[in-house]
Structure 1
Amino acid sequence: MTDHGITLFRRGLTADLDRRGAIIAGLWWQGANGTRHPLMRDGSMHGGDPLRASCFPLLPFGNRVAGNRFTAGGQDYSLEPNQPWDSHYLHGDGWLSLWTVEQVSDAAARFTLRHAAQPGQPYAYEAAIDYIVTEAPALAMTMTLRNTATAAMPFGLGLHPYFPLTPETRLHARAARFYTEDAAFMPGPEAPRPADLDFTRPARLPRRWLNNGFAGWDGRARITWPESRLALAIDADGAFSHYFLFMSDTAFEPGFAGEYFCFEPMTHRADGHHAEDLGGLALLAPGEVMTARVVFTPEETAA
């Protein structure tokens, strides 16, 4: 353990973590042949910037809120942008916070965060993230959040992992509904799924800008890298009924070379604050708790 970083290891699976944002800075698998493979992109050079990491948490909700305003319990709330390149308050504030390391061992670590409400950041909450490299081996990530405000607020949880993208990379992730993208990165209306975004069976990812939400997810996904004879199974509990798919381009990210894509498990849809049913967000009363778990398991394949 360094000032910020922690390394977990068990049975060939290594997870590098950092309390700056409670991020994953690297997830590596060393299989039977001794070769070390990245299961998420190498984020070792993140330097405290979650956008350069391997994965960061989304809380007290993920994505954006239209107009940076929402109403809960008859009270109006406003949000302030938290990134210089985006006009929205993006992905909550957990990923931009310095977490406390409460417990750490060779194969497990617990991060905690207390966040007080302030202008432009109206959420007050306590959060914990438990990372465990299990005997399987697999990386299990459990997120727990408690509303410490004096009023009910809509909360959600999610993850923002960056996965290696190779010419043969395939994704398998069933979902019932697809959402288009509107202006300023906001979600658009539900629409028929484009043929190149149909992952009901394993399929290659298109090489183009992607920024779309999927709903009615069964919580199971599988990424396959045939060149390495390697796959990663993603198993999320029932709280995760949505996922977001992102792929950058050179217009948004000039240095982008097509080396990663993001598959983001979420408990709610983007801009759920303005959906009649809150789009999967949980309206937590003061003191109420929500928790959600995702497990990443490497699998060696025949081809």
Structure 2
Amino acid sequence: MSAAPSEALVELRHGVRRVLLAPHVGGAIAAFDETRDGRVIDWLRPATPAALAARDPLGMASFPLLPYCNRIRDARFMFDGALVDLSDDGNEFAHALHGNAWRLGWRVEEMSASRARLHLLHEPSREAAHHWPFAYEATQDIALDADRLSVTMSARNLADRPMPFGMGHHPYYPRTRNTRVHARVAAMWHSTPDLLPTHAGPHPCIDAMASSDGMSADAFDLDNNFTGWSRTATIAWPDEGRAITLSADAPFDHMVVYAPAAHPGLLCVEPVSNVADWVNLDVARALKGGVVLEPGESVSATFAWTTRIG
């Protein structure tokens, strides 16, 4: 049985390192930082007081993506011979976006000084405003230690029928003129102007990210999915002598990079298990990701951020 819904921030600490969780704001991480010589070092972009007051998941440091990642074209798809219509579910975007877990309150189920478990129960009949038609439950086990912050995401299909499913997390990193991104990927999903995927193929950013210097966060205008990810990526601030490495287990086999030219303060490098609109893409599963969970079936995977100074 879950505890009562939390309306307060939850603080985890390990030495000089701190994580703030906002369970009531989509089960989000509000901050991940450490204090050295009186100076606060932000590893993720911290939520502002205004974002917290507005309960805005897009203003958090990172938030969970469940039961799918990124967009679904026109908020509709066919599954198991039936139309799944996600329009008018309270999402303000033209295409369904990021699932529903980021817009629901999570419960604090367990907690210690440096660990917490957050729990979400989605029942369609009780969540009419967020009408993903399949019942499911999800947990986030969040642990902070001297080197890294890890998140184990788990989900179980509570419906009496199969459920299409994907998961991920949506972290924002501090972006400066000197921020570099290092990663190895096989291909980038090119997309339409409204960011729906068209085909996977080469792009100059792939070689840039794989180079010894990495890719400047300002080099390209990106909001794209990548496939064939090695499941590790490093965001570095060489002028500050620090870096953070994102690593992930399968099925986080895809990566999203959001580095928009129009918003030079934003940078996301996200571990995800499915590319945008995967439920409508007629391509091999290895290219698009996603799974189908049978009734009662579960999936679980861990990703982590490891930090380095010097």
Same-fold status (TM-score > 0.5): yes
1:1-303 mapped onto 2 (5 Å cutoff): 3-20=7-24, 21-31=26-36, 33-45=37-49, 46-47=51-52, 48-82=55-89, 85-118=92-125, 120-134=131-145, 136-195=146-205, 198-201=208-211, 202-206=214-218, 209-250=221-262, 256=263, 258-276=264-282, 277-278=284-285, 279-301=288-310
Report how far residue 39 of structure 1 moved. Answer: 0.5
Number of equivalent positions = 292
Matching residue's letter, 1:198: A
Distance of aligned partners of 1:191 and 1:287 in 2 relative to their CA distance in 1, 3 Å threshold: same
- Give the match's secondary structure for 1:298: strand
Q: Which residue does 1:253 correspond to in 2?
A: none
After superposition, give the CA deviation of every residue in 1:222-273 in whole Å (9 maximum; x if it has no partner). 11112221100111012111011112354xxxxx4x2231111101111110
Q: Is the 8 A contact 2:217 2:259 kept in 1?
A: no
- Taking structure 2 as the reference length, what is the TM-score of the superposition? 0.88
Q: 2-side partners of 1:55 and 1:83: how far apart?
A: 21
Q: Is the 8 A contact 1:11 1:137 kept in 2?
A: no
Q: 1-side partners of 2:180 and 2:31: how far apart?
A: 21
Please tell me the root mean square deviation across aligned C-alpha atoms, in Å: 1.9
- Give the match's secondary structure for 1:238: coil
Report how far residue 130 of structure 1 moved. Answer: 0.8
After superposition, give the CA deviation of every residue in 1:135-187 in whole Å (9 maximum; x if it has no partner). x4211001100011111111011110000111111111111011112132222
Q: 2-side partners of 1:65 and 1:96: how far apart?
A: 16
Matching residue's letter, 1:167: R
After superposition, give the CA deviation of every residue in 1:101-151 in whole Å (9 maximum; x if it has no partner). 1111110111101101256421310000111002x4211001100011111
Q: 1-side partners of 2:44 and 2:205: how far apart?
A: 26
Q: Is the 8 A contact 2:192 2:198 kept in 1?
A: yes
Matching residue's letter, 1:296: W
Q: Is the 8 A contact 2:177 2:217 kept in 1?
A: no
Q: 1-side partners of 2:138 and 2:119: how far apart?
A: 6
- Taking structure 1 as the reference length, what is the TM-score of the superposition? 0.90
Q: 2-side partners of 1:180 and 1:85: how far apart?
A: 24
Would you tell me which structure has more helix in proportion to its own residues?
2
Ranges in structure 2 where 5+ consecutive residues have no aligned partner: 1-5
Q: 2-side partners of 1:99 and 1:266: how far apart?
A: 20
Q: 1-side partners of 2:205 and 2:248: how far apart?
A: 25
Q: 1-side partners of 2:205 and 2:100: how far apart?
A: 35
Q: 2-side partners of 1:29 and 1:209: how far apart?
A: 30
